[in-house]
Chain A
Amino acid sequence: MAKDSNTLIDALVADLAPVRPLRGWDGALRVALAAALTLAVVLGSFGLAAPVRAGTMSAMFLLANGLLLLLGLAAGASTILQASPRVGNRHDGPRWAMSMAAVFPFATLVLLALHRTEAAHLIAADTAWHCLAVSLVASLLIGGVLLAWLRRGAPVSPAAAGLHLGVAATALGTAIYGLSCPADSLYHLGIWHALPVIAGALAGRCFIPRLLRW
């Protein structure tokens, strides 16, 4: 630190260069572009799932992907806002969205406990691991954009910012891949489309904060 703050202020003034203020809509636009690019790559690689093409999606498909999309939007908006801190900001939205989205895997686990014969079949399904892996890969670009945004900003709660980033990226990535996923049973969606988000939440909470401290 400088010996006196006048010297420091003079140095900071001399170092001043114009900056582009972070605006929420700018961050949202970047995430939307990343999501659009991810969607194009996923559809280009795997195509639309047959029920989606035919317009015969199951109720479970709509519910699961709708919840994931809303969860991704809530967590994404919170992540973007956390780049511009302010006493008085609240970031409760993702918590509620996570609670609501958790109903799906929870209901699946309850059903699995009641009908145990399904469990072995569920774990063995080839598409399941594929879903998990592709959903995680589909989250990377969105996660990278959010991370770059936060690092430009000044997140004052790195733990919350990391958690929301992880949830936003994986929820949006999984919802995008959901358009290509051929399986639409409750068991499949409730487990294998929830796991990427749980993994994203854990990774975001454990590893991202150290990249955000300033």
Chain B
Amino acid sequence: MIADEQSLSRLMAAAQTGDRQAYGALLAEARRWLQRYLARKVPPGQIDDLVQEVLVSLHAKRASYDPARPFLPWLAAIARYRWVDHLRRTYRREEVELGDHDAIQESDADAVMARISLDRLFMSLPRAQAEAIELVKIEGHSIAEAAARCNQSEPLVKVNIHRGLKKLAALIEKAD
């Protein structure tokens, strides 16, 4: 069970004052929340790396959290930024396709909302761009395979990935 928004905000505010116990608890909760938030948005073998990258960013940018505001929308913005950056950087052909067995099965309301939140970001893209990113950057197919599956030429798949990632980067804070 992940702590509620108020508790997380309180822990983060305490961490900003240097309270290590609160910070340890917050990072553990943030890790669990991020594992759900990013599930199925990167190949399963990369989730831990990405979660750790977000935790490092949380640490480096902890001053940018305003304790008067909710914590999770701030963490989600950091996670989205790192996620888009991760999609830009990584492409591992050897990763297996995502399957339901890889997803974390918890179904708390906040986890559902978190998934919807990333899905909504993805839904802001034109279908062809979303499909190209999904196939190549998330599921790990080659450009040629993606081109065959989505009936686009290989150059078009590349263009769609490039444009889609650029658009995602501009939509990090988008909520609806």
Chain A CB within 8 A of B101 CB? no
Say yes or no: B78 contacts A152, CB within 8 Å. no
Known: A12-B27, A152-B63, A154-B57. A21 touches B77 (CB 8 A): no
Most buried by A among B51, B68, B78, B80: B78
Say yes or no: B18 contacts A5, CB within 8 Å. no
Say yes or no: B64 contacts A16, CB within 8 Å. no
Residues of B contacting A5 in the complex (Cβ-Cβ under 8 angstroms): 31, 48, 51-52, 55
Say yes or no: B173 contacts A21, CB within 8 Å. no
Given the complex of chains A and B, what is the CA–CA distance between A188 and B68 in angstroms? 45
Chain A CB within 8 A of B56 CB? yes
Chain B CB within 8 A of A51 CB? no
Residues of A contacting B56 in the complex (Cβ-Cβ under 8 angstroms): 8, 12
Given the complex of chains A and B, what is the CA–CA distance between A159 and B173 in angstroms? 13
Which of A58-66, A83-91, A172-180 is near enough to bind chain B? A83-91
Chain B CB within 8 A of A110 CB? no
Residues of B contacting A85 in the complex (Cβ-Cβ under 8 angstroms): 64, 74, 77-78, 81, 172-173
Which residues of A1-46 are within 8 A (CB) of B? Answer: 1-2, 4-5, 8-10, 12-24
Interface residues of A toward B: which range?
35 or more
Q: How many residues of B contact A (CB 8 A)?
A: 45
Say yes or no: A9 contacts B62, CB within 8 Å. no
Residues of A contacting B130 in the complex (Cβ-Cβ under 8 angstroms): none
Chain A CB within 8 A of B17 CB? yes
Residues of A contacting B172 in the complex (Cβ-Cβ under 8 angstroms): 85, 87, 156-157
Known: A16-B15, A89-B173. A154 touches B78 (CB 8 A): yes
Residues of A contacting B15 in the complex (Cβ-Cβ under 8 angstroms): 16
Which residues of A83-136 are within 8 A (CB) of B? Answer: 83-91
Say yes or no: B27 contacts A157, CB within 8 Å. no
Q: Which residue of A lies closest to B68 (CB)?
A: A23
Given the complex of chains A and B, what is the CA–CA distance between A2 and B73 in angstroms? 26
Say yes or no: B59 contacts A12, CB within 8 Å. yes
Which residues of A are at the interface with B, using a C-beta cutoff of 8 A? Answer: 1-2, 4-5, 8-10, 12-24, 83-91, 152-154, 156-157, 159-160, 214
Please give 8 more A-B residue pairs, beta carbons under 8 A apart, in addition to A1-B53, A18-B17, A159-B170. A5-B48, A5-B51, A8-B52, A14-B20, A16-B23, A152-B63, A154-B77, A214-B60
Which residues of B are at the interface with A, using a C-beta cutoff of 8 A? Answer: 13, 15-18, 20, 23-24, 27-28, 31, 48-49, 51-53, 55-57, 59-70, 73-74, 76-78, 80-81, 117, 169-170, 172-175
Q: Which 4 A-B pairs have the closest CB atoms?
A: A18-B18, A85-B77, A154-B61, A88-B175
